[in-house]
């Protein structure tokens, strides 16, 4: 099995997580049935969903582990892989229930004939094995049923509490091999958990896997928090807080564990977002009723002003190469999208529709900008030049898109007073709700985990 | 990999510490506090009958037609009705020169979160600027925007929205 060496680091990290987040109950959220919208066909990029057979994964020897018996884990891993692939809208998983049982020796020597009648183009097999040192090995194999050949294989060694990551990485491998795109399943979401009446809403930072599993709260709700965002290098999180009744942007340093204000200013700072190299944060600052966009090194320093219109300039987001910034401004009289160079020069309007546009976010692929259509409160995308606008969501009350690291899916908040998290696959239009223990808003998708 | 995982754990723990919360054994959050969510509920008059102490919040609320002014959709202009209210507030503030106030700006839910923070800031500043034009020193007034985070009235209808588009002059208790 290859990849074992590259997975060594996983062990150490996983062991630590065991201490902080042992609660098996945290996984209940992910086990709830997801709600599903009728798929929306968005025009270009629509693909036919690939039929793929995913039988339960055997174990060479049933063994009890901290995550349960390996026999049971093999069933769950297969189910997670199937759910990940189904939710992308790009696959039609067949099974695991109802498929022929796979024995351990068959994992590397599939009985292709048994799966031909299912109509599947592809077959995913794997196994879960308990190791003497307490770790788990999860094997993941992708086959072409018609050609009767192996397409790829991966093996993951994880501590038991991290077993879901192995399943997500297996799904990422399959997604990537069959679509040619990077995956997005082994990722996390930092978001704002909400509860209580609107007048006294309790808002807490929370973090979870992209599918809602392994949910943890990061703040206790004493102060309202808004708009968290992952640094691309995953070393810091920036967010806005009303701590001490001073609304401002904070940086939460993951290495040191410190939380500190981004800017030493008496004015409100908000709408933070990282540069692609994680060295800078652009943010908005309201000074005497006028809001502009500024840039500052994450490590501190003095802010550099990038816009100076008398209107509200906010919601800045970098292009993936860091050379440009898309932002919203009401300088024309309504909220519209503009693109400027990273130093603030050459500001050009790119949106012209009625009703307005807000919260632009540049895709990690660079090809699209996601936004909130104000008025109707829908999520849409357009090219960085402003052409090709299309709406991805049905119904209203959608706001605040965030891109999956492969640029193929967008998560957003839905709901006015009680928020929920949803995501839509940009190519297939498949929309899913992400389960959260309470209400949720302001999701930010992490990069793929290392 | 190792580094980032470790740091996340440390960060999670430290955020809890920063926020002053003990380690949690259960994942459900605490019930919302039953009173005194600080600073975001405008003025609450606890005086029942009797004469309010001059310069107090109760005195302010008894002396002015309203502690808040309302705005049109996506607007921060001070209309005639708002001017009348702010004129009365300015008179009271001129009579009580030692009182400092906070002006909260709020928006209805029909705007994106970040834009509404800017809009609330505009409204709070519009009210402050008007009071300043009526002789109130700028250093007696601070502003805070709550965007759409703290509606006065719940509901998704014209009446609720109208009451939520507001700037509230908050006198310390």
Model pLDDT for residues A432-448, shown as the tens digit of each residue: 999 999 999 999 999 99
Mean per-residue pLDDT over chain A, rounded: 88
Tell me the nearest-neighbour CA distance from A375 into chain B, angstroms.
7
**How far apart are the C-alpha atoms of A251 and A441, rounded to whole Å?**
19
Q: How many residues does chain B have?
A: 173
How is A377-424 classified by DSSP, letter by letter? TEEEEE-TTS-S-EE---SS-EEEEEE-TTSSEEEEEE-SSS-EEEEE
Q: How confident is the model at residue B88 (pLDDT cuts 50, 70, 90)?
A: very high
Q: Report percent pLDDT > 70 for chain B.
A: 72
Neighboring chain B residues of A234 at a CB cutoff of 8 Å: 4, 8
Q: Residue range B90-112: average pLDDT?
A: 96
Backbone torsions φ then ψ of A73, nearest 5 degrees: -60, -40
Dihedral of the alpha carbons of B135, B141, B146, B151, in degrees to the nearest 10: -60
Tell me the nearest-neighbour CA distance from B168 into chain A, angstroms.
15
Closest residue, chain B, to A315 (C-alpha): B114
Q: Can you give the pLDDT at residue B51?
A: 77
Residue spans per domain, chain B: 37-170
Cross-chain CB nearest to B145 (options A9, A25, A286)? A286
Closest CA to A339 of A325, A353, A320, A329: A325
Residue A197 CB neighbour total at 10 angstroms: 12
In 3-state terms, what secondary structure has residue A239? strand
Which two tokens mark A87?
């939710």
Residue in this structure with the two tokens 């491998």, named with its chain if needed: A173
* Architecture of the domain made up of B37-170: 2-Layer Sandwich (3.30)
Which two tokens mark A120?
């599947």
Q: How confident is the model at residue A42 (pLDDT cuts 50, 70, 90)?
A: very low
- Give the domains, in start order, of chain A with CATH numbers: 4-179 (3.40.50.10070), 188-445 (2.120.10.30)
Angle of helix B113-133 relative to helix B80-95, nearest 10 degrees? 60
Q: Omega of the bond prior to A173 within 30 degrees of 0, cis?
A: no
Q: Can you give the pLDDT at residue A17?
A: 27
Tell me the nearest-neighbour CA distance from B59 into chain A, angstroms.
25
Q: Residue range A377-381: average pLDDT?
A: 95
CB spacing of B156 vs A417 below 8 angstroms: yes
Q: How confident is the model at residue A28 (pLDDT cuts 50, 70, 90)?
A: very low
Neighboring chain B residues of A399 at a CB cutoff of 8 Å: 112-113
Closest residue, chain A, to B5 (C-alpha): A13
Query: In this predicted model, what pLDDT tens digit does every residue of A53-62 receive, in sequence order?
Result: 999 999 999 9
Q: Are A76 and A170 in contact (CB under 8 A)?
A: no
Q: Residue range A396-404: average pLDDT?
A: 94
Beta bridge mates, A217: A206
Residue A165 CB neighbour total at 10 angstroms: 25
Q: Can you give the pLDDT at residue B40?
A: 45
Which two tokens mark A376?
């109707």
Tell me the nearest-neighbour CA distance from A421 into chain B, angstroms.
15
Of A303-317, A400-414, B13-27, give the lowest mean pLDDT range.
B13-27
Q: Are A282 and A295 in contact (CB under 8 A)?
A: yes
Query: In this predicted model, what pLDDT tens digit does every residue of B121-133 receive, in sequence order?
Result: 999 999 999 999 9
CB spacing of B38 vs A245 below 8 angstroms: yes
Checking if the pLDDT of A340 tops 90, the result is: yes
Better-scored residue on pLDDT, A208 or A450: A208
Cross-chain CB nearest to B39 (options A9, A245, A252)? A245
A407: CB partners within 8 A, 6+ apart: A363, A364, A365, A366, A367, A368, A426
Q: Can you give the pLDDT at residue A253?
A: 83
Cross-chain CB nearest to A13 (options B6, B113, B119)? B6
Neighboring chain A residues of B71 at a CB cutoff of 8 Å: none
Q: Can you give the pLDDT at residue B75?
A: 96
Closest residue, chain B, to A379 (C-alpha): B112
**How far apart are the C-alpha atoms of A300 and A251, rounded to whole Å?**
10
Closest CA to B106 of B64, B38, B162: B162
Cross-chain CB nearest to B11 (options A14, A247, A257)? A257
CB spacing of A359 vs B112 below 8 angstroms: yes
Strands B101-106 and B141-147: what pairing? Answer: parallel
Checking if the pLDDT of A3 tops 60, the result is: no
Size of interface A-B (CB pairs under 8 A): 190
- Tell me the C-alpha to C-alpha distance, in Å, between residue A64 and each of A82, A136, B52, B94: 24, 11, 71, 76
Q: How confident is the model at residue B46 (pLDDT cuts 50, 70, 90)?
A: low
Q: How confident is the model at residue B45 (pLDDT cuts 50, 70, 90)?
A: low
Q: Report percent pLDDT > 90 for chain A.
A: 79
Neighboring chain A residues of B4 at a CB cutoff of 8 Å: 13, 234-235, 254, 450
Of A181-195, A208-222, A406-420, B104-118, give the lowest mean pLDDT range.
A406-420
Q: How confident is the model at residue A375 (pLDDT cuts 50, 70, 90)?
A: confident
């Amino acid at each position: 099995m290859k990849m074992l060496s590259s997975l060594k680091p996983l062990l150490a990290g996983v062991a630590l997580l065991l201490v902080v987040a042992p609660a098996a109950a945290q996984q209940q959220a992910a086990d709830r049935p997801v709600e599903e919208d009728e798929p929306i066909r968005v025009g270009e990029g629509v693909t036919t969903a690939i039929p793929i057979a995913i039988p339960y994964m055997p174990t060479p020897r049933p063994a009890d582990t901290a995550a349960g018996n390996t026999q049971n884990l093999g069933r769950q891993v297969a189910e997670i892989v199937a759910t990940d692939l189904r939710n992308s809208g790009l696959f039609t998983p067949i099974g695991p229930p109802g498929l022929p049982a796979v024995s351990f020796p068959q994992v590397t020597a599939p009985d292709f004939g048994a799966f031909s009648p299912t109509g599947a183009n592809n077959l995913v097999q794997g196994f879960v094995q308990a190791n003497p040192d307490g770790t788990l090995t999860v094997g993941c194999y992708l086959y072409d049923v018609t050609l009767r050949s192996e397409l790829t294989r991966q093996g993951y060694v994880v501590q038991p509490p991290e077993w879901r990551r192995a399943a997500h990485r297996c799904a990422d491998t399959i997604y990537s091999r069959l679509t040619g795109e990077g995956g997005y399943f082994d990722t996390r979401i930092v978001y704002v958990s909400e509860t209580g009446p609107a007048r006294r809403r309790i808002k807490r930072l929370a973090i979870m896997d992209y599918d809602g599993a392994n949910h943890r709260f990061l703040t206790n709700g004493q102060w309202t928090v808004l708009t968290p965002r992952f640094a691309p290098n995953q070393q810091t999180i920036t967010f806005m807080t009303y701590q001490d009744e001073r609304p401002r942007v904070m940086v939460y340093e993951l290495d040191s564990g410190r939380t500190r204000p981004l800017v030493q200013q008496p004015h409100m700072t908000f709408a933070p977002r990282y540069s692609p190299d994680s060295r800078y944060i652009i943010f908005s600052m309201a000074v005497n009723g006028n809001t502009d966009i500024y840039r500052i090194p994450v490590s501190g320093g003095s802010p550099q002003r990038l816009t100076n219109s008398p209107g509200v300039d906010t919601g800045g987001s970098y292009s993936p190469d860091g050379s440009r910034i898309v932002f919203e401004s009401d300088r024309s009289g309504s909220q519209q999208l503009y693109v400027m160079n990273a130093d603030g020069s050459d500001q050009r309007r790119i949106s012209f529709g009625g009703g307005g546009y807000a919260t632009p976010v540049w895709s990690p692929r660079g090809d699209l900008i996601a936004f909130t259509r104000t008025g109707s409160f829908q999520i849409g995308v357009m090219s960085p030049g402003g052409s090709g606008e299309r709406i991805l969501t049905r119904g209203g009350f959608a706001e605040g898109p965030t891109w999956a690291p492969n640029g193929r899916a967008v998560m957003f908040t839905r709901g006015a007073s009680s928020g929920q998290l949803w995501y839509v696959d940009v190519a297939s239009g498949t929309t899913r709700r992400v389960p959260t223990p309470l209400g949720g808003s302001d999701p930010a998708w992490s990069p793929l985990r290392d | 990999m190792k580094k980032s995982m470790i740091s996340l754990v440390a960060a999670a723990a430290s955020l809890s510490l920063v926020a002053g919360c003990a380690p949690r054994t259960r994942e459900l959050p605490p019930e919302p506090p039953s009173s005194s969510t600080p600073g975001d509920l405008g003025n609450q008059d606890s005086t029942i009958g009797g004469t309010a102490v001059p310069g107090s919040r109760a005195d302010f609320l008894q002396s002015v037609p309203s502690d808040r002014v309302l705005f049109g959709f996506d607007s921060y202009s001070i209309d005639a009705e708002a001017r009348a209210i702010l004129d009365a507030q300015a008179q009271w503030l001129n009579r009580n020169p030692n009182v400092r106030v906070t002006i909260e700006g709020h928006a209805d839910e029909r705007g994106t979160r970040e834009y509404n923070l800017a809009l609330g800031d505009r409204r709070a500043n519009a009210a402050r600027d008007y009071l300043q034009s009526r002789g109130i020193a700028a250093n007696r007034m601070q502003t805070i925007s709550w965007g759409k985070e703290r509606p006065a009235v719940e509901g998704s209808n014209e009446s609720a929205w109208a009451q939520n588009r507001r700037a509230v002059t908050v006198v310390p208790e």
